[in-house]
Amino acid sequence: MQAMCSKVITSPVAIGSFLAEPPQDASPPPDAPRDWSEWVLLGESAAVRHLRAQVRRISPHFRTALIRGEAGTGKSLVARAIHAHSPVSDGPFVVAPAEYVVECHAAGESTCSATIHAAASLLASAQGGVLYLEGVGELSYPLQTTIYRFIRWAEERRTAPTNSTYNGPERRCANLRSAPTRILASSRSDLRALALTGRFRQDLYTHLSAVEIIVPPLQQRVDDISELSTWLLNRLAEQAGQPFKRLTDAAMAHLKALPWPNNLRELEESVSRAASLAEDSTIERRHLLPLSEAEAAGQAAPLGRWPDRLHDVVQLHVLNILTRCGGNKLRAAELLGISRSTLYRMLGASQTQPNP
């Protein structure tokens, strides 16, 4: 169990102002943002201006907040931006899938020794910073109770770390102190709608949604695609040590016409692929996936091209997505629309599944 709870990502974030003026031409601006958490906030559309205003308003004061948005919209990047502009920006930013936290804390209620210490260690790793819980909205109803207890338990240690109101192993482990930790939680689902229909705990929703940020889908940010793409191309050029590549007007018009079901993650993948195909410094319309093919990309392939067993079809698709993401499990999970912990389990199943 401790091994599972150790699957967190601790990362210091150093970013500049995300309110910089947008570039006026297609050339890479000299003061272009260097951090991914700035990228998600680029643009001048009404949707992103509202998002920037929320980040600016919430960052200095939040204790617990909810970030909601479709898969691939950049929820984790918004979380990093909030951390970077908060009073605890010098502290750690710790990413933990909600399912791992639940299993650590739930097990700790029956065996205090190692497992409750694992949950406490998670808080300790984020002390004086931000703990980002991924996929809270995707937890089953019974597990929502446990994550609610964990959040309450974490919040108690902000004000009274030696006095727990619980009678379980939390009390026996009350001597495990940690500095105040701020908590951000993310969800792809509309928790208000789920709570109204009884599929999400009302008390947990009320607790999280006191401060809620909604990350807009890319379809609401079409006017930002030019600036977002320019930033990506500038970053690719820097990483590869190659000249900057520009999108032609026709290529840009094509990007703005796409539906982008997987939002920013899909834009990043499309622009990166086009840049690799372009022979010179210009990315043309032919380097981009045709609109008809892009719309059909998620449709089923002919039956003869797929395995017979459903399990094998799913595993093949997961592995294909992971390959397209260059082995980056976080990006693959976002693209698949699942939590990272679910992806880990699926990858584990593919390794242990016996051949028929």
The per-residue pLDDT for range 249-275, each reduced to its tens digit, is 999 999 999 889 899 999 998 998 898
Question: DSSP state, 182?
Answer: E
The average pLDDT across 84-93 equals 94
pLDDT at 166: 44
Band (320; pLDDT cuts 50, 70, 90): confident
Q: Which segment, 36-40, 166-170, 194-198, is predicted with the most confidence on average? A: 194-198
Among the residue ranges 39-43, 83-87, 260-264, 317-321, the one predicted with the least confidence is: 317-321
Question: Residue 84: is its pLDDT beyond 50?
Answer: yes
pLDDT at 25: 37
pLDDT at 42: 95
**307, amino acid identity:** P
CA 63 – CA 75 distance, rounded (Å): 17
Among the residue ranges 22-26, 118-122, 172-176, 293-297, the one predicted with the least confidence is: 22-26
Q: Which residue has the tokens 């789920």?
A: 194
Band (345; pLDDT cuts 50, 70, 90): confident
Separation in Å, CA 303 to CA 102, 313, 336: 40, 11, 21
CA 184 – CA 76 distance, rounded (Å): 10
Question: Residue 128: is its pLDDT beyond 60?
Answer: yes
CA 124 – CA 43 distance, rounded (Å): 36
Query: Minimal CA–CA distance to 291: which of 249, 247, 253, 258?
Result: 258
pLDDT at 33: 52
- Percent of the chain past pLDDT 90, that is, above it, reads 40
CB atoms within 10 A of CB 55: 22
From the candidate CATH numbers 3.40.50.850, 3.40.50.2300, 3.30.1490.20, 3.40.50.300, the one assigned to the domain spanning 2-214? 3.40.50.300
* Domain 221-299 belongs in CATH node 1.10.3080.10: no
* Residue pLDDT, tens place only, 226-247: 999 999 999 988 888 888 999 9
**Average pLDDT, rounded, for the chain:** 77
Band (218; pLDDT cuts 50, 70, 90): very high
Greater pLDDT, 212 or 239? 212
The average pLDDT across 24-39 equals 56
CA 44 – CA 221 distance, rounded (Å): 9
What's the gap between Cα 74 and its chain centre?
6
3-state secondary structure (DSSP) of residue 265 = helix
Which segments of the chain are extended strands (E)? 9-10, 64-68, 93-97, 130-134, 182-187, 212-214, 246-247, 282-283
Residue 129 neighbours by CB under 8 Å, 6+ apart:
83, 88, 91, 92, 93, 94, 181, 182
CA 325 – CA 347 distance, rounded (Å): 15
pLDDT at 206: 92
pLDDT at 118: 64
Greater pLDDT, 290 or 109? 290
CA 204 – CA 315 distance, rounded (Å): 33
Query: Superfamily for 303-356?
Result: Homeodomain-like (1.10.10.60)
Compute the residue count for the chain.
356
CB atoms within 10 A of CB 246: 18
Among the residue ranges 2-11, 191-200, 213-222, 276-285, the one predicted with the least confidence is: 2-11
CA 33 – CA 18 distance, rounded (Å): 7
The domain ranges of the chain are 2-214, 221-299, 303-356
